[in-house]
């Protein structure tokens, strides 16, 4: 915990506003972070605000400064992430800030992007701007956890979702799983998809459930729908092969036969991998600009994704139902544990009601984040 | 929902007090119900209160009236259950009430016991007492749900408890299950046992876990510990065979061989059944005065108990851990369902945190209650 300057206090309401603004871009900014900014004039009056809405579009600081115009002179910029100092798709924010005549910048946290990483702050200080860093740092880091994770680890943050009965079953013994969860829980899954950059399933889920995997229009563009398949045993007809509303990627390993490849549907993009490995897939998806992926797969792939460190968070819907079962239809396969000392621990601070169901959102602990 | 007399309003605080008093006997009154009573003098001042503490000990009304003495004359008795009108281990309460000179009795609900069932109320009215019935009836019925269930169905109310990980596992593939749940959750199980009349396990749980199954002294006497075994394949040493702190019953079917029976430990009581069937066991335990039993058994017996209608309520502890597993170690076996229309539904209104775990207490719906 960094020591926070007591002079921060007066900026707290504005940083909270900047965090709220940043959240408006949730799900739309990848590979960029969420950023919100507020400009106050030299009397402390609000004269501009903005958020980063989409990669390629103006940064939060640029929008807020443009709104403020000349009123920014001698004023304060409050921003949720360190301003960039490099030329990307848009000009460096540090230069706009210096030009604006802003005399103070309050920053929640340094940008972990190696192209910034403190250089933005240095550039401002060198230009004579008073810079305060660390106000609501934890909140800002939590808000941008998927971006930060991707920058640090080179792969997107993974959320694994399943819906189960009170006795821990994800389907009946005959495979029937529609519907364990309530309409409200299923709608919530649509909203979860809308803030993810990609939704991943295995071939088995395509074969058995023929899912649509969209946010039902909540986000535009829809998240990328990814099928990770080792066998390439895919049905010729599937909702995922219709790419008019959302893109589909079929990712497969190098042992796929040419004959099988030729039989694949035409519309989806093909993504050849060395092996059909979750980690290799995520590295490839990082290259496609994904900060966050949602695993909506069956037990086999889900277990493999956890084992490879591709899952940072669980979203578990528990329905007030009892399904029973014989020897299958559980959310996960064996993780090879033989002692309670080995089991994975999760946070337990987030549970809420979704219709008649309960939703647990638990961070997997003891993982690199 | 019965229409409630508006004249009830002034008695509401006293009925709530009577319900609180009744709760003090929780776990100790079987086969009797929980009952609490308050006596007010003719000016509405509290002059006596009592609760039924133990079968064979005085009834709540008798205690409250004795406290009130002559001040009861012209006063009001507020009681959570219809006063009895039959001679049991103690004299009929209706006669004590009539003798006391009480002029008004406010009753939460009729006693479903066929020996009472409205006759207590009639006897009071015939004796010139003004009787109001139905104040906080739902709350009173909920408080006495185990007694009411036993009276109506001839067998005790069953609660099935299990602790599982977030991925629905009750043990690792090698059988290790200590401990999935937190210390706080395990302490809560001790308190749950303390309000149950019997705790039931199968032979497998004795063999694999060698449990103690007591409330750790929270209740005295401790609940009856029952082993329901078809095979009579029991270890020669087990904590349950030491009956110095709590009684143990071994219940077995008629196909048990005489040789095996002779090898059973000496201290536990033997309870021969026609078959080692959950329902037959509960009928026998009803005869032993049990209103409420706790099933702490493995998946096989738990599933059978549900199928036979021996489980009315689930108590499920969910620990924020991920265990994984291959093809076993789930709370329940197959219930034979092939469609979502067949699955069991539960209430979903009670979830609370126990240390780092979550506790669901869900009533099984669509069961006779």
Task: Examine residue A339 and state whether it is found in any structural domain, yes or no.
Answer: yes
Residue B190: what pLDDT?
97
Q: What is the CATH number of the domain that holds A261?
A: 3.40.430.10
The domain boundary residue, chosen from A125, A143, A161: A143
* A308 lies within 8 A of chain B by CB: no
Task: Examine residue B50 and state whether it is found in any structural domain, yes or no.
Answer: yes
Q: B108 and B248 in one domain?
A: no
Residue B1: what pLDDT?
43
The domain boundary residue, chosen from A117, A143, A169: A143
- Going by C-beta distance under 8 Å and a sequence separation of 6 or more, which residues neighbour residue A191? A215, A218
Helices (H), chain A: 12-23, 60-68, 93-100, 119-126, 137-143, 145-153, 183-194, 203-209, 258-262, 278-287, 299-307
Q: A214 and A300 in one domain?
A: yes
Q: A113 and A134 in one domain?
A: yes
Overall domain count for chain B = 2
> For chain A, how many residues are written?
369
Whether A106 contacts A135, CB under 8 Å: yes
Averaged over A278-292, what is the pLDDT? Answer: 97
B61 is catalytic: yes
Spans in chain B with pLDDT lower than 70: 1-7, 327-328, 367-369
Averaged over A339-353, what is the pLDDT? Answer: 91
* B303 lies within 8 A of chain A by CB: yes
Task: Examine residue B164 and state whether it is found in any structural domain, yes or no.
Answer: yes
Nearest CB to A345 within list B320, B327, B338: B320
Residue B260: what pLDDT?
82
Selection from B227, B228, B232 nearest residue B261 by Cα:
B232
Q: A249 and A209 in one domain?
A: yes
Complete DSSP assignment for A246-299: S-EEEEE-TT--HHHHHTS-SSSEEEE-SS--HHHHHHHHHHTT-SEEEE---H
Residue A86: what pLDDT?
87
What does the DSSP 8-state code read for residue B334? B
* A183 lies within 8 A of chain B by CB: no
Q: B195 and B113 in one domain?
A: no
Q: Taking CB atoms and an 8 Å cutoff, what residues of chain A touch B324?
A: 303, 306, 332-337
Averaged over A331-337, what is the pLDDT? Answer: 92
Q: A168 and A138 in one domain?
A: no
Q: How confident is residue A1, by pLDDT bands cut at 50, 70 and 90?
A: very low
pTM of the full structure = 0.89
Q: Taking CB atoms and an 8 Å cutoff, what residues of chain A touch B301?
A: none
Residue A367: what pLDDT?
67
Q: Strand pairing partners for A159?
A: A294, A313
Q: B138 and B155 in one domain?
A: no
The kind and range of the H/E element at A316 are strand A313-319
Pair type for strands B198-202 and B292-295: parallel
Q: What is the CATH number of the domain that holds A129?
A: 3.40.140.10
pLDDT tens digits for A183-212?
999 999 999 999 999 999 999 999 999 999
Task: Examine residue B132 and state whether it is found in any structural domain, yes or no.
Answer: yes
The kind and range of the H/E element at B190 are helix B183-194
Task: Examine residue A24 and state whether it is found in any structural domain, yes or no.
Answer: yes
Decide if A168 and B169 are in contact by the 8 Å CB cutoff.
yes
B354: left (phi over 0), alpha (psi -120 to 50) or beta: beta
Task: Examine residue B1 and state whether it is found in any structural domain, yes or no.
Answer: no
Nearest CB to B340 within list A179, A332, A356: A179
Q: B316 and B266 in one domain?
A: yes
What is the crossing angle of helices B93-100 and B119-126, to 10°? Answer: 20
Residue A354 and residue A35: Cα distance in Å, rounded?
Answer: 29
Nearest CA in chain A to B171: A340
* B300 lies within 8 A of chain A by CB: no
Complete DSSP assignment for B280-293: HHHHHHHHTT-SEE
The domain boundary residue, chosen from A120, A143, A166: A143
Nearest CB to B328 within list A322, A327, A356: A327
Residue B196 and residue B217: Cα distance in Å, rounded?
Answer: 13
pLDDT tens digits for A226-242?
999 988 889 999 999 99
Q: B164 and B139 in one domain?
A: no
Task: Examine residue A357 and state whether it is found in any structural domain, yes or no.
Answer: yes
b/e burial code for range A230-262 (CB count within 10 A of at least 16 → b): bebebeeebbbbebeebbbbbbbbeebeeeeee
* A331 lies within 8 A of chain B by CB: yes
* A7 lies within 8 A of chain B by CB: no
CA-based R_g, chain B, Å: 23
Residue A192 and residue A162: Cα distance in Å, rounded?
Answer: 12
Complete DSSP assignment for A187-221: HHHHHHHHT-SEEEEEHHHHHHH----S-TTSSSS
Q: Taking CB atoms and an 8 Å cutoff, what residues of chain B touch A359?
A: none
Residue A4: what pLDDT?
52
Q: A17 and A166 in one domain?
A: no
Nearest CB to B179 within list A306, A326, A340: A340
Q: B47 and B186 in one domain?
A: no
Q: A283 and A170 in one domain?
A: yes
Whether B360 contacts B350, CB under 8 Å: yes
Residue B37: what pLDDT?
98
Please report the residues numbered 130 through 169 in chain B whose beta carbons come closer than 8 angstroms to any beta carbon of chain A: 164-169
Nearest CA in chain B to A328: B327
Instruction: Report which of residues A157 and B231 the model is more confident about.
Output: A157
Four-residue CA torsion sign, A139, A142, A148, A152: positive
Averaged over A314-327, what is the pLDDT? Answer: 92
By residue range, what is the domain housing residue B21? 6-143
pLDDT tens digits for B122-158?
999 999 999 999 999 999 999 999 999 999 999 999 9
Task: Examine residue A350 and state whether it is found in any structural domain, yes or no.
Answer: yes
Residue B16 and residue A329: Cα distance in Å, rounded?
Answer: 46
């Amino acid at each position: 915990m960094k020591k926070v300057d007591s002079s921060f206090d007066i900026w707290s309401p504005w940083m909270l506003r900047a965090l709220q603004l940043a959240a408006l871009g949730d799900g739309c900014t990848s590979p960029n972070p969420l950023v919100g900014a507020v400009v106050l004039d030299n009397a402390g009056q609000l004269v501009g605000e903005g958020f980063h809405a989409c990669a390629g579009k103006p940064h939060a600081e640029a929008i807020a400064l443009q709104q403020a115009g000349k009123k920014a002179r001698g004023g304060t910029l409050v921003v949720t992430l360190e301003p960039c100092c490099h030329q990307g798709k848009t000009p460096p924010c540090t230069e706009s800030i210096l030009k604006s005549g802003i005399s103070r910048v309050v920053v929640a946290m340094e940008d972990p992007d190696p192209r910034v990483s403190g250089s933005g702050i240095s550039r401002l200080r060198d230009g004579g701007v008073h810079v305060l860093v660390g106000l609501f740092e934890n909140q800002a880091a939590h808000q941008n956890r998927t971006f930060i994770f991707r920058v640090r680890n080179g792969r997107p943050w993974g959320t694994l979702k399943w819906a189960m009965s009170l006795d821990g079953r994800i389907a009946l013994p005959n495979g029937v799983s529609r519907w364990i969860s309530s309409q409200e829980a299923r709608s919530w899954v649509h909203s979860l998809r809308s803030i993810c950059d990609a939704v991943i399933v295995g071939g088995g889920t395509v074969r058995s459930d023929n899912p649509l995997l969209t946010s039902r229009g909540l986000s535009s563009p829809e998240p990328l729908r990814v099928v990770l398949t080792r066998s390439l045993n895919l049905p010729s007809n599937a909702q995922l092969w219709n790419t008019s509303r959302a893109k589909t990627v079929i990712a497969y390993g190098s042992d796929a036969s040419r004959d099988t490849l030729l039989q694949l549907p035409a519309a989806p993009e093909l993504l050849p991998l060395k092996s059909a490995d979750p980690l290799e897939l995520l590295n490839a998806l990082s290259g496609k600009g994904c900060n966050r992926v949602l695993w909506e797969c069956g037990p086999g792939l889900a277990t493999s994704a956890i084992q490879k460190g591709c899952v940072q968070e669980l979203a578990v819907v528990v329905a007030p139902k009892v399904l029973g079962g014989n020897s299958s239809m559980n959310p996960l396969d064996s993780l090879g544990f033989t002692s309670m000392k080995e089991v994975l621990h999760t946070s337990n601070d987030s549970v809420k009601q979704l219709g008649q169901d309960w939703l647990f959102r638990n961070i997997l602990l003891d993982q690199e984040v």
